[in-house]
């Protein structure tokens, strides 16, 4: 099973990767290759389209504002399930692509326990065990996986109420709403964390690369694996260099 997933991922990465490239300048590390970036933005576009069409139907307050974007209520309704299917299919590929680095480990439990320190920026650099993704990123990923499954099942029931019956459709509607709210809240946090909260992160999803100091700051264990160097030692060395430059007479 795992072997099959790995073979599929490798083939997809190779084929999609052939259409684009990742330019790596000195002092940078590749974080997200072409395949991952294409999937991420594909998922993002379909997610936003599904979100806007869904919110239009979600509440009367937004119906009048959002339906004209999609050509009125009937087309909004018509497009929503197809946008959502686009999201589900692309996210399923991303799920396979990220299955291994997103696997929940003991380190993630440790990370969750020190979440307060993470939120308050208590430390300059993340704990040394934080690998390619931290616990919060994995939590968001698995929340999307669960929500997407709930979305898909309840959505199909709501799409064909004459097949599944009125009671199932009414229950599906509630589950669909809950999944949407979880995803919406997570999406807002994701936008913030990927841009304003952590400078230097957004480029990992656009150009695909990050600075080395970004890597040892946020993902020290990944830095160690990717470069074979000690993140803490490199961080300390860089710090000393910056300090000696900004205050040349001190040492």
What residues numbered 171-210 form the site for other proteins, per CB under 8 A?
171, 173-174, 177-178, 181-182, 184-185, 188-189, 191-192, 196-200
122-146 exposure pattern, b = at least 16 Cβ within 10 A, e = fewer: eeebbeeebbbbbbbbbbbbeebbe
Q: Give the binding range for other proteins (CB under 8 A) out of 40-48, 109-117, 144-152, 214-222.
A: 214-222
Nearest distance in Å: CB 89, other proteins: 20
DSSP 182: H
Please state the length of the chain.
251
Quick one: which of 42, 127, 136, 161 contacts other proteins (CB under 8 A)?
161
Residues between 107 and 136 that touch other proteins (CB under 8 A): 119-121, 124-125, 132
Q: Give the binding range for other proteins (CB under 8 A) out of 9-17, 38-46, 103-111, 136-144.
A: 9-17
Distance CA 134, CA 218 (A): 8
Kindly state the helix (H) or strand (E) to which residue 47 belongs, with its residue range: helix 34-58
Question: Residues binding other proteins: what is the number (CB under 8 A)?
Answer: 87
Q: Looking at beta carbons only, is 45 or 164 nearer to other proteins?
A: 164
Distance CA 226, CA 216 (A): 11
Nearest distance in Å: CB 200, other proteins: 5
Residues 6 or more apart whose CB falls under 8 angstroms from that of 163 comprise: none
Quick one: which of 106, 246, 247, 248 contacts other proteins (CB under 8 A)?
246
Q: Does 247 bind other proteins (CB under 8 A)?
A: no
Residues between 49 and 108 that touch other proteins (CB under 8 A): 57-61, 63-64, 73-74, 76-78, 97-98, 100-101
Distance CA 12, CA 8 (A): 6
Nearest distance in Å: CB 236, other proteins: 10
Q: Count of CB atoms within 10 A of residue 91's CB?
A: 22
Helix (H, G, I), strand (E, B) or coil at 219: coil
């Amino acid at each position: 099973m795992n072997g099959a997933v790995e073979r599929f991922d490798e083939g997809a990465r190779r084929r999609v990767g052939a259409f684009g490239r990742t330019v790596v300048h000195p002092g940078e590390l590749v974080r997200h290759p072409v395949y991952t970036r294409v999937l991420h933005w594909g998922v993002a576009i379909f997610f936003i389209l599904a979100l806007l069409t869904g919110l239009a139907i979600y509440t009367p307050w937004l119906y009048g504002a959002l339906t004209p974007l999609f050509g009125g209520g009937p087309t909004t309704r018509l497009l929503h399930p197809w946008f959502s299917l686009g999201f589900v299919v692309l996210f399923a590929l991303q799920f396979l692509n990220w299955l291994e680095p997103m696997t929940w480990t003991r380190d993630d439990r440790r990370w969750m326990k020190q979440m307060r320190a993470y939120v308050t920026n208590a430390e300059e650099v993340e704990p040394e065990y934080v690998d390619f993704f931290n616990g919060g990123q994995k939590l968001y990923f698995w929340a999307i996986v669960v929500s997407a499954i709930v979305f898909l099942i309840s959505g199909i029931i709501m799409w064909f109420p004459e097949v599944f019956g009125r009671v199932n459709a009414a229950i599906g509607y509630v589950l669909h709403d809950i999944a949407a709210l979880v995803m919406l809240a997570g999406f807002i946090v994701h936008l913030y964390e990927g841009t304003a909260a952590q400078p230097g992160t957004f480029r990992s999803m656009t150009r695909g690369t990050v600075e080395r100091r970004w890597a040892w700051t946020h993902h020290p264990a990944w830095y160690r694996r990717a470069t074979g160097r000690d993140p803490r030692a490199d961080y300390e060395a860089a710090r000393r260099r910056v300090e000696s430059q900004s205050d040349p007479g001190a040492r």
